[in-house]
Amino acid sequence: MFRTLTVALILGFGSTALTALPLAAQDGPLRIEITDGVVEPMAIAIADFHGDSEAAQQIRRVVADDLTGTGLFREIPSEAMIAQPDSFAAAVAYEDWRAVNAQALVTAEVTRSGEEISVKFRLFDVFAGQPLGDGMQFDARAGDWRRAAHKIADQIYSRLTGEQPYFDSRIAFVQETGPKDARIKRIGVMDYDGQNIRWMTDSSSLVLAPHFSPDGRQLLYTSFDSGFPQIRAMDVATVTSRPLTQGGDSMAFSPRFSPDGRWIVYSLEQGGNTDIWLMDAATGAQRPLAQSPAIETSPSFSPDGKRVVFESDRSGTPQLYIMPVTGGEPTRISFGEGRYGTPAWSPKGDMIAFTKRLGDKFHIGVMRTDGSDEKILTESFLDEGPTWAPNGRVVMFTRVTPGGNGEPRLHSVDITGRNMRPLKLDFAASDPSWGPLLR
Amino acid sequence: MKPCLAPLIAAACLAGLAACAPPPQQQAPVVDPYANMGSGALYQGGLPGGALGGEASAEYFRAQVGDTVQFAAEQTTLSAEARATLSRQAQWLNRHADFNAVVQGHAEETGTREYNLALGARRASAVQEYLIAQGVPASRIRTLSFGKERPAAVCSDEACYAQNRRVVTVVTPAGPGT
């Protein structure tokens, strides 16, 4: 049986209208479990894609890069393959794939008519000798071929790991150029793998820390364009922004949306003291949430929208606290050695990622929401600001190298602590914000 | 790093050197700026007059009065040296009522971006309070924090961090309507 999924192509960045398709029952025997133990990557054979040769090769490469980039899959080299299928419809010669120790096999066909491309793919469990889930077809505008590739890789990843997918998603970030003491910063949005960069701001004013809205259509960020740090909202599709806070004698920064998009939680500084405030995104009405004579900043909503985790130095050093969004007394959750900051609540709701400073090193780590099971994932001179992949399996963060020529780069790591890797970009970048899975 | 000027400050200097050690002690965000002030006692040296386009200029303020005060790691307390500089700033601002000031707080790079914005704001506020206590009208002083975004020195060791944990007072002639 074949299912067709139309990737309604996005002309503008961010405005998407993709028909969601329920996955077929996929209780196949082949599955890679993502656990803390050492994992032998699953050997996956991606047969040459049939059809329009240039597009087929490009799409195949992106699918392969998505899968191997997780560290969970090992690609069987084409040279090792005994025989390629004669056609997409041909019966699979399982023996040939078993002989090269492929555990899973992907076959696909790309057809192009005018400005439309269509990609069909199938996934097979080689040793069981049977398909793994239904075949699927993605239709897309030719310019969106990368999205079609990410959609296919997402299907394969999801069927083989049992996890939600994340490849067809975007990341907002800050590009950094110029010398360290006069840095020029610009907000951009790109595919999760660093491709298709769109610039959201020019270089005329200092901008910091963009954060996606839950639907991926807006960015909240901090801008110095008035001369003083204030919060602005950017419409990603039209690349137009508007101020959410006004100057006066206070500074506003560190904004994040609530999961339903109705609220914005942020830091407001008044008379030198920084507290956490809530803003009604529709009316702009503002009220304090967490107040003390200490610094309160870097708030993040729980995915059910009922609680907020934030950073406060009310104990003498920066630590993590959780409180109900309706108000009340914050509960401290970080008790390990060192200083904790920039908490980010996982989209699954079970974990909080954070920045930790201990001795002269910085770390990215994760802990349960009650502070237990703290796990340190990284270590360097300066790691900062984790953001979660939409499926809660991977975090991306900023790693800064030391010295006068030091610069930030984006890295990602699996929450098991494996597969640390830099994002391939040909410029320095910081402050990643991982947007939602696109529809 | 500049020499420590008093036992009180020696502790802060130590804390500065041990930038990554556990926090020295829990402490109120901003210590009473008027305690042990000794304003003027640490006034250092005469001011060469007539240089840099006259006394009533931003250049004179920066080069001769001293526009920058530094802080110990993670601290917002004003040292004796800082208070001496700020007393000179206040005297100058009180002599030149036609200038306004923007007090810009900064932090070193070893801290998270958002926390450092808040820390810089706290430092700027400590300076603003001191200037107000020295008679400068609050209406003439605005505060701003750059966090770790605009370091004065770019190396990644204490020599630079000490220079970056600072508040810079920028004076500008008050124009019509300001």
**Domain extent at residue A236:** 169-437
Q: Nearest chain B Cα to A385, which residue?
A: B112
Going from N- to C-terminal start, the domains of chain B cover 54-178
HEC assignment per residue over B9-72 = HHHHHHHHHCCCCCCCCCCCCCCCCCCCCCCCCCCCCCCCCCCCCCCCCHHHHHHHHHCEEECC
CA distances from A358 to A204, A378, A402, B79 (A): 36, 12, 16, 27
Q: Do A261 and A193 have their domain in common?
A: yes
HEC assignment per residue over A100-129 = CCCCEEEEEEEEEECCEEEEEEEEEECCCC
pLDDT value at residue B47: 47
Q: Do A50 and A175 have their domain in common?
A: no
CATH at A219: 2.120.10.30
Residues of chain A with pLDDT under 70: 1-29, 34-38
Q: Do A150 and A245 have their domain in common?
A: no
Q: Do A338 and A258 have their domain in common?
A: yes
Q: And the tokens for A2?
A: 């074949």
pLDDT value at residue A105: 97
> Do B115 and A311 make contact, defined as CB atoms within 8 angstroms?
yes
CATH at A34: 3.40.50.10070
pLDDT averaged per 10 residues in sequence order, chain B, 178 residues: 38 39 40 38 42 80 96 95 97 96 96 97 98 97 96 94 97 75
Which among A271, A295, A315 has the least Cβ separation from residue B115? Answer: A295
Which among B115, B149, B150 has the least Cβ separation from residue A341? Answer: B115
> Do A272 and B122 make contact, defined as CB atoms within 8 angstroms?
yes
pLDDT value at residue A6: 55
> Do A273 and B27 make contact, defined as CB atoms within 8 angstroms?
no
Q: And the tokens for A415?
A: 């929450």
Q: How far is A224 from chain B (nearest CA, A)?
A: 9
Q: Give per-residue pLDDT as tens, A244-287.
A: 998 777 999 999 999 999 999 999 999 999 999 999 999 999 99
CB-CB neighbors (< 8 A) of B130 in chain A: none
CB-CB neighbors (< 8 A) of A253 in chain B: 114, 117
Domain count, chain A: 2
pLDDT value at residue A29: 59
Which among A227, A272, A317 has the least Cβ separation from residue B126? Answer: A272
CB-CB neighbors (< 8 A) of A316 in chain B: 23, 25-27
Domain final residue pick, A136, A161, A186 = A161
Q: Do A107 and A225 have their domain in common?
A: no
pLDDT value at residue A36: 62
> Do B117 and A180 make contact, defined as CB atoms within 8 angstroms?
no
Q: How far is B48 from chain A (nearest CA, A)?
A: 30
Q: Do A195 and A112 have their domain in common?
A: no
Q: Nearest chain B Cα to A275, which residue?
A: B118
Q: How far is A92 from chain B (nearest CA, A)?
A: 54
Fold of B54-178: 60s Ribosomal Protein L30; Chain: A; (3.30.1330)
Backbone angles phi, psi at A97, to 5 degrees: -85, -35
> Do A267 and B114 make contact, defined as CB atoms within 8 angstroms?
yes
Residue of B17, B100, B108, B115 for testing the chain A interface, max A β-carbons within 10 Å = B115
> Do A272 and B128 make contact, defined as CB atoms within 8 angstroms?
yes
ipTM of the complex: 0.90
**Strand duo A2-6 + A135-141: pairing:** parallel
Q: Do A303 and A422 have their domain in common?
A: yes
Domain final residue pick, A161, A186, A218 = A161
> Do B156 and A381 make contact, defined as CB atoms within 8 angstroms?
yes
CA A377, A259, A25, A74 torsion: positive or negative? negative
CB-CB neighbors (< 8 A) of A362 in chain B: 110
User: Which of A171, A174, A210, A172 lies closest to A428, judged by CA?
Assistant: A174
CB-CB neighbors (< 8 A) of A402 in chain B: 156
pLDDT value at residue A273: 97
Q: Nearest chain B Cα to A340, which residue?
A: B112
Q: Nearest chain A Cα to B153, which residue?
A: A181
Q: Do A243 and A137 have their domain in common?
A: no
Place of tokens 């590009």: A175
Q: Do A185 and A105 have their domain in common?
A: no
CB-CB neighbors (< 8 A) of B154 in chain A: 179-181, 403-404, 406
Q: Do A149 and A196 have their domain in common?
A: no
pLDDT value at residue A65: 98
Q: Do A41 and A178 have their domain in common?
A: no
Number of C-beta neighbours around residue A397 at 10 A: 28
